[in-house]
Amino acid sequence: MTISIKINKNTQSRINLCDFNNIEFGKIFSDHMFRVDYEDGAWKTGEILPYGNINFSPALSSLHYGQAIFEGMKAFKDENGRPQLFRPLANFERFNLSAERMGMPTIPEELFMTGLSELVKMDQDWIPTKVGSALYLRPFMFATDDFVGVRPSNNYTFIIFCCPVNSYYPKPIKVKVEEKYTRAFDGMAGAAKAAGNYGISMRPTMEAKKEGFDQIIWTDGREHKYVEESGTTNLFFVMDDYTVLTPALDGNILKGVTRDSCIKLLRDANYNVEERHINIEEIATAARAGKLLDAFGTGTAALIAKIETIAYKNERFELPPAEGRKVSNWLYDTLGEIQTSKVEDKFGWITKL
């Protein structure tokens, strides 16, 4: 550790309250969190402290004007039980891109990485080791000015907390192509991991759930014709010649770290991956002809979420059974093996702690 942070350890661990054989995503939090405040144009000294509630004024500006961003990343254990992070610098870089887009201060790499590493080392006993599980890490930053009025806040708080998790989606998902609501438009903040981008997905997802779907597929705001991402993941489609399609990073979708990892793994295995605008009609035509072999979402939380049903206008396309899916099963297994160091880390994605 080269920068110094304060350590305030809790006196009694809560780890016995966690049933590691039965973890529900996002419901249980580890013993500590990392916090650092930004005041008067500078980051103060960071601190690891017991996980717990924080007090703020009702005028907290992020609650009113939405300057709030976050990341999702994961820690694992290697074969010898040593803690490690998967591609932390990719998340760090995206965090600062989100901060810039939202007019918030960027955080220095050393501060982010030191806080993250020391926190995960301290709470390493909370890293679950069952296949498909991990310690989910949630860095986030929000505006803390006690102020009513629309202008960037002068003060911010950055926190990282951790939750032991299993799969976000325990089974293949049913999705509906969204043609009424829009997530992002050119020039908006679609590429930022801003809290508001998730806030606006709640209503459309609620409506889709009422119709029996788990998620929506966002389409472009101009024509509702081009696939963007799902409410929780980036998207991939596998055609019958094993060409893999994924929407291009056009500024309206999130630059997913799992998305990028999948593209790199697929290209390394000689798959033809096309990053481009994907007309939903192209997917529907392939599905009608039985030429859509696989479709899945990718994300830190979801890892690989297989799609079993796609509903588009009045049609429902049922995809081939999940067990036989060559591409998504291979990506799921390979990513899991890299993350837990069961196979060689040939892309340099692992940071040992």
Residue nearer to ligand COI on the CB measure, 163 or 286: 163
For tokens 């799921």, what's the residue?
332
Of the pair 37, 93, the CB lying nearest ligand COI is at 93
Nearer to ligand COI, 193 or 286 (CB): 193
Residue 11 CB, shortest distance to ligand COI, in Å, is 31
- Which residues of the shown chain bind ligand COI in the complex (CB under 6 A)? 72, 232, 299-302
Closest alpha carbon to 189 in 181, 178, 177, 200: 200
**Shortest reach from residue 47's CB to ligand COI, in Å:** 24
Q: How far is the CB of 25 from ligand COI (least distance, A)?
A: 8
Query: What is the Cα–Cα distance from 118 to 34, expressed in whole angstroms?
Result: 9
Residue with tokens 């202008």: 151
Q: What is the closest distance, in whole angstroms, from the C-beta atom of residue 234 to ligand COI in the complex?
A: 9
CB of 223 to ligand COI, least distance (A): 26
Print the SS3 string covering 218-243: EECCCCCCEEEEECCCEEEEEECCCC
Q: Which is nearer to ligand COI, 46 or 299 (CB)?
A: 299
**How far, in Å, CA of 44 to CA of 52, rounded?**
20
Q: How far apart are CA 142 and CA 120, in angstroms?
A: 22
The number of angstroms, rounded, from the C-alpha of 189 to the middle of its chain's C-alpha atoms is 16
* CB 104 within 8 Å of CB 67: yes
Task: Return all residues near 58 (Cβ < 8 A) that are at least 6 apart.
Answer: none
Q: DSSP characters for 92-148?
A: HHHHHHHHHHTT-----HHHHHHHHHHHHHHTGGG---STT-EEEEEEEEEE--B--
Could you give phi then psi for residue 13, rounded to 5 degrees?
A: -70, 150
What is the smallest separation between the CB atom of 86 and ligand COI, expressed in angstroms? 12
Which residue's Cβ lies closest to ligand COI?
Answer: 72
Helix/strand/coil for 260: helix
Nearer to ligand COI, 132 or 290 (CB): 132
Q: Round to whole Å and give the CA distance between 77 and 164.
A: 12
CB 257 within 8 A of CB 225: no
CB of 302 to ligand COI, least distance (A): 6
Nearer to ligand COI, 73 or 310 (CB): 73
Closest among 182, 172, 173 to 204, alpha carbons compared:
182
Instruction: Identify which of residues 122 and 302 has a Cβ nearer to ligand COI in the complex.
Output: 302
Q: Which is nearer to ligand COI, 145 or 228 (CB)?
A: 228
| Residue 288 beta carbon to ligand COI: minimum distance, rounded to whole angstroms | 30
Q: How far is the CB of 301 from ligand COI (least distance, A)?
A: 3
- Closer residue to ligand COI, CB minimum distance, 204 or 299: 299
